[in-house]
Amino acid sequence: LTAELPTLLERDRVFGKARRQREAFEIIEGLGGSAVLSHLDTGLGFSRSVIHGLRDRGLVKITDETVARDPFDVHDPVEAPPTSLTPGQLGVLHGLKEQLTEAPSNPGVALLRGVTGSGKTVIYMRLIQAAIDTGRTALILVPEIGLTPQTVARFRAVFGDKIAVLHSGLSSGERHDAWRALRDGRKRVAIGTRSAVFAPLPDLGVIVIDEEHDGSYKQSETPRYHARAVAAMRARTEGALLVLGSATPSLESWHNALEGRYRLYELEARATPHQLPHVRLVDRRSRTAECASSVLSDDLRTAIEVRLRDNRQTLLLLNRRGYATVQQCTACGWVAMCPACSVSLTWHRQRARLVCHHCAWEEGVPQRCPNCADEKLAFGGVGTEQVERVLSETFPTATIARMDVDTTGGKWAHGRILRRVRDREVDILLGTQMIAKGLDLPGVTLVGVIDADVGLNLPDFRAAERTFQLLSQVAGRAGRGKDAGEVLIQTLRPEHQALRHTLTHDYVSFATAEIADRLAPGYPPHRRIANLVVSGRDETSVADAAEELADWLGSTIETSALNASVVGPAPCPIDRLRGRWRWHMLLKAETASNLGPLLRYAARHSPVGGSCRLEIDRDPESLL
């Protein structure tokens, strides 16, 4: 506004019968004297001629201004971090600051292994402040969009408006604003998920990768990259310190630390007076057939009842969404399969659809068997949707929230659910792996794992490592407040080392055993590997092309005298995906210097062609 009309008489005189102009004037006035033109136009229905009429009367002026969108301005603030650190935290912080300054052109890589609740975040903050104080910038990567609001709130309590956020859940405009603010130096700290590793930060001083072990840092589709590897390269070329933080580091990072390539820092105790939670395995093998088929064991059900009685909260993990994992005819054995993938369709009861979790195909739920027309159709396997129903029937007075991909599609869905949990509006939080990562929920005193064997039974060399990491992370959600925590893990394989070492929170023993087990088959961290996948529409052509590629690679290795080997080919565990048949082989080499040239040569000169396609996944996170 460029003028005031304080009296009704003046407004009557100025506007006369121009009712819409008067309404627009009064709305702008009510907004504090300024408004965005597009909001008045498309949002409130005032035509441009109405606004231009106000301008012609000398009542408003129209200007172009750059207004940055703030994707997190609606979130509640959190308390500032503690001002005093434990002796262990002080020791780690002192070492990191020394590392940051002693070799400013190449500070190297630090691995911070700290148990859950040990206060790694406050160390990150102090280190970043040290970098900012010397005129440098910082980058923080987190594995999940759901963690970003919590992380941003914590860092905003310290750094205020110096922070910019980057992840795929933002609008293109919000990402554009953040990108420009970082590039221009108006923001000094970037927080985001995997792709934020490319943020345009001048004078980069510190890169922090929180939960560095998480598989989501690897982009599995073209262009393939691992954020950890990109961050390491940026740190080297820009003279920044890279800090990898986790309670359960990847075995590759742990091995690098033991070999002296990374500097190792450890926090063995929580930053609060409370101990790590007591963990107990519930052996489902010893139950009767009727009890074994139930979702909740007697032990877990009783533990939940105690928490409800004491007004405490429970967190339940099942890393499988949907209601049931398979629909099958009990008369002829037919199974509802995805027409494009070699996997069964998952029943989503609330949507009344069968869905493929790999290609997103979906269809209606048949009432008769398409093969034999019998009505004896049954559902098997348990997902989070079914567990939610069981919980509602078992604990009818409890307030239950479910957190998985199906319930967190909205922009602020993660934050809304977590805020309800923190405000004690939820008694039981049920979810997939997204609830296991980095969340600080002080009211949770019980963590239950519905089925610990979901990931353990996958045909992948990382299955045990991923299971131990997930169980350790979710166990760490218990007992972070004033009350002690308890963890119950339901399993059919209690003797497995991934579960045995979870009982005692013993990462070092697990890592030692797992690294030893990988020596004979030559898996990382002992050797570098690449997964070469041949795919196509015709199954026979794909198999023939894979055999030809394996022979060609063997001959190439022999003539080049490289220290490498080929394992395979064989059909992929999921041998058909999105309509393409898939065969794969592993290329193993002693070092990256042996593997790299061979992969580049294969990409340019491999015999795979025609209707078949070759995909090369270096340092794969999964072989499925």
Residue 237: what pLDDT?
Answer: 93
Split at pLDDT 50, 70, 90, the class of 331 is very high
Highest CATH level, class, for 87-267: alpha beta
Q: Which of the pair, 40 or 442, is modelled with greater confidence?
A: 442
> Crossing angle for the helix pair 48-56 and 19-30, nearest 10 degrees?
80
> Residue 244: what pLDDT?
98
Return the pLDDT at 352.
92
Whether residue 54 is predicted with pLDDT greater than 80 in this model: the reply is yes
Range with the poorest average pLDDT among 158-172, 419-433, 497-511: 158-172
Structure confidence at residue 272 (pLDDT): 73
Whether residue 289 is predicted with pLDDT greater than 70 in this model: the reply is no
Average pLDDT of the chain? 89
**474/403 Cα distance (integer angstroms):** 14
Residue 53 above 50 pLDDT?
A: yes
Q: Residue 68 — pLDDT band, cuts 50, 70, 90? A: low
pLDDT value for 9: 77
Sorted by where each begins, the domain ranges of the chain are 8-56, 87-267, 278-321+383-517, 528-618
Q: pLDDT tens digit string along 458-470?
A: 999 999 999 999 9
Q: What is the mean pLDDT of residues 47-64?
A: 88
Q: Which residue has the higher pLDDT, 290 or 214?
A: 214
Summarised one tens digit per residue, pLDDT across range 541-583 is 999 999 999 999 999 998 887 889 999 999 999 999 999 999 9
Confidence of residue 483 (pLDDT cuts 50, 70, 90): confident
- Write the DSSP string, 382-428: --HHHHHHHHHHHSTTS-EEEESTTT--STTHHHHHHHHHHTT--SE
Is the confidence at residue 506, as pLDDT, over 50?
Answer: yes
* Per-residue model confidence as pLDDT tens digits over 512-524: 999 999 999 999 9
Amino acid 22: pLDDT: 86
Which of the given ranges, 37-51, 246-260, 275-289, has the highest pLDDT on average?
246-260
**Would you tell me the crossing angle of helices 413-422 and 148-159 to the nearest 10 degrees?**
70
Q: Would you state the pLDDT for residue 1?
A: 78
Say yes or no to pLDDT of 293 above 70. no
528-618: CATH topology: Alpha-Beta Plaits (3.30.70)
Query: With bands split at pLDDT 50, 70 and 90, how would you rate the model's confidence at 148?
Result: low
- The predicted structure's pLDDT at residue 290: 44
For the domain made up of 278-321+383-517, give the CATH fold. Answer: Rossmann fold (3.40.50)
Residue 45 above 90 pLDDT? no
Structure tokens belonging to residue 208: 């922090």
8 pLDDT exceeds 80? no
Residue 206 near residue 100, CB atoms below 8 Å: yes
pLDDT, greater one: 416 or 618: 618
Confidence at 74, pLDDT banded by 50, 70, 90: very low
Q: Which residues of 343-364 are buried (b: 16+ CB within 10 A; e: fewer)?
A: bbbbbbbeeeebbbbbeebeee
Q: Is the pLDDT of residue 92 over 90?
A: yes
Query: Do 271 and 119 form a contact (C-beta atoms < 8 A)?
Result: yes
Instruction: Indicate yes or no: pTM above 0.75.
Output: yes
pLDDT of residue 401 exceeding 80: yes
Paired tokens of 16 = 């006369």
User: Is 528-618 in the same CATH topology as 278-321+383-517?
Assistant: no
Mean pLDDT of 119-131: 92
Alpha helix positions (H), 250-315:
251-258, 289-292, 298-309
* Cβ atoms within 10 Å, residue 461: 18
Looking at residue 72, what is its pLDDT?
A: 56
